[in-house]
C-alpha cells in the first residue's frame, strides 16, 4: 500500500475557498488535516481534500469536537469520494450527531469499477436506461487508455435483461486495491430463454387415437415449460382452452446466422417471447382431450413439439425429464404356424387367444 501523499494547503478547500489547515505533509502520518466548522449548527458547508497520487483508502476517522463557545460540530454530514474531482460517490451518511462532539469511523471498501466488453471488442457503459459505447475497439487501447475508461466505469451491473441485449460479453473489472489473492467476480445469472424446435416429426402412420401428452419434470418458483405443437414443422399451435390455434410460423425464417465465428439467434428470440406469452404449460397440456388431439393429428404424416423452458430468477427451476405420449395405433399381427410354412396377417387384433400347447411367437408390426 502506498503511503499517504503530502498535500499543500491549496489542496484543501472549505466551501470552495482555501482552508486554514491541510495535510501535515508527513507521509508516515495518518492525520489528513483540520478544518474549523463555523458558528451555527444550521450552516451548510463542505470540505474537499485533494491528493496528487493514488493510494489505498481503507478507513476514515472523523473527529468532531467543540472548538470554543459558539462553535458546533456538524450534526449531519456525508462522506464522498471521487477519482476525477468532478463525479463523487457517496460512501457513508451520518445524521443527528451529538453537539458535544464525536468520533465516527467509516471503513472504505476498495473502489471497484465495471465495464462490458462485447464479442466485437466494443466497450459499453450503462447509464440510467440505456447502453453507451465508450470505446469502439478495446484491443487497440494501451494500458493508460484502458485505465482511463475503467476508473469512470459502473459501480454496479445493470439488470440481467439489459446485459442480455449485448449478446456474448465479458465483464471488465478494475480496482485500486492490492489484493493478496486474484480478484474474483461472482456472477449470478438468469439464462436467456432458449427455444427448442424439432428437426423432424414423429410418424403418425397407423395412428388411431392420440389419447394424452404429458411432461414429467421439476418446476419450482416461476420456472415452467411452454409447449407448442406442429404437424408440418412450420406452423406451431397453442391451446386456447377449447381448440388448437396458431401461435408462431417459422416458414421461411432464418433462425440463426453465422457471425464472428459463432451462431447468433435472429428471429428465434422474438418467437420465444411469443411462445412464453401464449404457449401451453405442462398442466394444461395434460388436460387436452383425446378428441382434440385426434382432430389435429389424424390424417397427417407426423407431429412434433416445440419447447421453451423459462426461469425469472436464479433460484427458479425448470427441468424436463421426459415427454409421454399415450396413443392407440392400428398395427398388424403376424402368426407363424410350424412346421407348416405360411403366415397369417391381421390388420387389427384387440386380444390373442392361444388354443394349442407349445411355443408361440407373436410379432407386432407397426
Cα dihedral sign, 341-346-349-355: negative
What is the full DSSP assignment across 258-310? EETTEEEESSHHHHHHHHHHHPBPHHHHHT--HHHHHHHHTTSSEEEEEEEEE
How much is the mean pLDDT over the chain?
Answer: 76
Answer yes or no: do 132 and 81 share one domain: no
**Of 98-107, 122-131, 230-239, 342-351, which range is least confident?**
342-351
Q: What is the sign of the dihedral through the CA atoms of 62, 64, 67 and 73?
A: positive
Q: Does a structural domain hold residue 196?
A: no
The dihedral over CA atoms of 179, 181, 185, 188, expressed in degrees to the nearest 10, equals -130
State what percent of residues in the chain have pLDDT above 90: 28
Residue 183 lies in a domain: no
* Least confident span in 42-46, 88-92, 122-126, 321-325: 42-46
Same domain, 136 and 218: no
What is the distance between the alpha carbons of residues 4 and 278, in angstroms, rounded to a whole number?
Answer: 62
Amino acid 69: pLDDT: 67
User: Domain check: are 323 and 353 in the same one?
Assistant: no
pLDDT for 10 beyond 50:
no
pLDDT of residue 261: 60
Residue showing cell 386456447: 240
pLDDT value, residue 195: 86
278 in a domain, yes or no?
Answer: yes
pLDDT tens digits, residue range 190-243?
877 888 889 899 988 888 899 999 999 999 999 999 999 999 998 999 999 999
Residue 15 or 160, more confident: 160
Q: Would you place residue 5 in the very low, low, confident or very high pLDDT band (cuts 50, 70, 90)?
A: very low
The answer on 118 and 82 residing in a single domain is: no
322 and 360 share one domain:
no
pLDDT range class, residue 156, cuts 50, 70, 90: confident
CA distance 321 to 217: 5
pLDDT band of 11, cuts 50, 70, 90: very low
> Residue 173 corresponds to which cell in the numbers above?
473489472
284 vs 276: CA distance, rounded Å = 14
Tell me, yes or no, whether 298 and 251 share the same domain: yes
Which pLDDT score is estimated for 27? 41
pLDDT band of 183, cuts 50, 70, 90: low
- Distance from C-alpha of 119 to C-alpha of 50, rounded to nearest angstrom: 39
- 350: containing domain: 332-365
Confirm whether 16 is domain-assigned. yes
Domain-located, residue 197? no
The answer to whether position 293 is within a domain reads: yes
Whether residue 323 sits in one domain with residue 241: yes
In a domain, 185, yes or no: no
Query: Model confidence over 18-52: pLDDT tens digits?
Result: 544 444 444 444 444 444 444 454 456 666 676 66
Same domain? For 82 and 159 the reply is no
Examine the pLDDT at 6 and tell me if it is beyond 50. Answer: no
SS3 161: helix
Judge whether residue 137 has pLDDT over 90: yes
Identify whether residues 340 and 247 lie together within a single domain. Answer: no
pLDDT at 34: 47
Instruction: Return the pLDDT at 165.
Output: 87
User: What is the reported pLDDT for 291?
Assistant: 93
- Amino acid 63: pLDDT: 78
Task: Report angle CA 10, 16, 20 to the nearest 5 degrees.
Answer: 50
pLDDT score, position 64: 79
Q: Is residue 314 part of a domain?
A: yes
Q: With contact defined as beta carbons under 8 Å apart, do 211 and 302 qualify?
A: no
Q: Is residue 65 domain-shared with residue 135, that is, in the same domain?
A: no
- Give the C-alpha separation, 359 to 336, whole Å: 11
Would you state the pLDDT for residue 188? 76
pLDDT at 176 over 70: no
Q: What is the CA radius of gyration of the chain?
A: 36
**Whether the predicted pLDDT of 348 surpasses 80:** no
pLDDT in tens, 48-95: 676 665 555 667 778 777 766 666 777 888 888 776 677 777 778 888
Percent share of the chain, pLDDT over 70: 64
Do residues 321 and 228 both lie within one domain?
Answer: yes
CA distances from 318 to 172, 215, 224, 277, 308 (A): 31, 12, 5, 16, 10
Q: Looking at 109-123, 222-236, 296-310, 330-344, which range is the least confident one?
A: 330-344
pLDDT for residue 112: 78
Mean pLDDT of 117-144: 92
Q: How many domains are there within the chain?
A: 4
Looking at the structure, do residues 226 and 321 belong to the same domain, yes or no? Answer: yes
Lowest mean pLDDT among 79-93, 250-264, 307-321: 250-264
Amino acid at each position: 500500500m502506498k503511503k499517504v501523499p503530502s498535500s499543500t494547503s491549496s489542496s484543501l478547500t472549505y466551501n470552495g475557498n482555501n482552508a486554514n489547515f491541510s495535510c501535515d505533509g508527513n507521509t508516515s502520518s495518518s492525520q489528513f488535516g483540520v478544518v474549523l466548522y463555523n458558528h451555527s449548527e444550521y450552516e451548510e458547508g463542505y470540505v474537499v481534500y485533494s491528493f496528487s497520487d493514488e493510494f489505498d483508502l481503507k478507513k476514515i476517522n472523523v473527529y468532531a469536537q467543540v472548538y470554543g463557545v459558539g462553535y458546533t460540530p456538524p450534526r449531519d454530514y456525508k462522506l464522498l469520494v471521487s477519482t476525477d474531482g468532478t463525479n463523487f460517490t457517496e460512501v457513508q451518511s451520518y445524521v443527528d450527531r451529538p453537539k458535544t462532539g464525536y468520533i465516527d469511523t467509516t471503513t472504505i471498501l476498495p473502489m471497484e469499477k465495471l465495464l462490458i466488453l462485447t464479442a466485437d471488442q466494443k466497450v459499453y457503459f450503462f447509464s440510467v436506461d440505456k447502453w453507451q459505447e465508450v470505446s469502439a475497439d478495446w484491443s487497440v487501447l494501451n494500458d493508460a487508455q484502458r485505465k482511463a475508461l475503467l476508473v469512470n466505469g459502473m459501480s454496479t451491473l445493470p439488470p440481467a435483461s439489459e446485459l442480455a441485449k449485448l449478446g456474448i460479453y465479458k465483464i471488465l473489472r478494475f480496482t485500486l486495491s492490492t489484493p493478496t489473492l486474484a480478484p474474483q467476480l461472482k456472477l449470478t445469472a438468469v439464462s436467456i430463454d432458449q427455444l427448442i424446435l424439432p428437426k423432424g416429426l414423429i410418424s403418425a402412420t397407423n395412428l388411431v387415437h392420440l389419447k394424452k401428452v404429458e411432461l414429467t419434470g421439476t418446476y419450482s418458483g416461476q420456472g415452467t415449460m411452454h409447449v407448442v405443437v406442429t404437424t408440418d414443422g412450420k406452423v406451431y399451435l397453442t391451446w386456447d382452452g377449447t381448440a388448437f390455434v396458431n401461435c408462431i410460423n417459422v416458414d421461411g425464417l432464418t433462425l440463426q446466422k453465422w457471425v464472428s465465428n459463432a451462431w447468433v439467434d435472429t428471429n428465434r428470440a422474438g418467437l420465444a417471447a411469443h411462445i412464453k406469452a401464449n404457449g401451453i404449460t405442462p398442466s394444461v397440456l395434460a388436460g387436452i382431450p383425446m378428441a382434440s388431439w385426434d382432430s389435429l393429428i389424424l390424417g397427417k404424416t407426423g407431429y412434433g413439439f416445440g419447447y421453451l423452458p423459462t426461469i425469472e430468477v436464479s433460484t427458479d427451476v425448470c427441468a424436463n425429464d421426459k415427454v409421454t405420449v399415450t396413443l392407440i395405433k392400428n398395427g398388424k399381427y403376424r402368426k407363424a404356424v410350424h412346421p407348416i410354412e405360411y403366415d397369417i396377417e391381421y390388420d387389427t387384433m384387440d386380444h390373442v387367444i392361444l388354443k394349442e400347447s407349445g411355443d408361440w411367437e407373436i410379432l407386432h408390426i407397426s
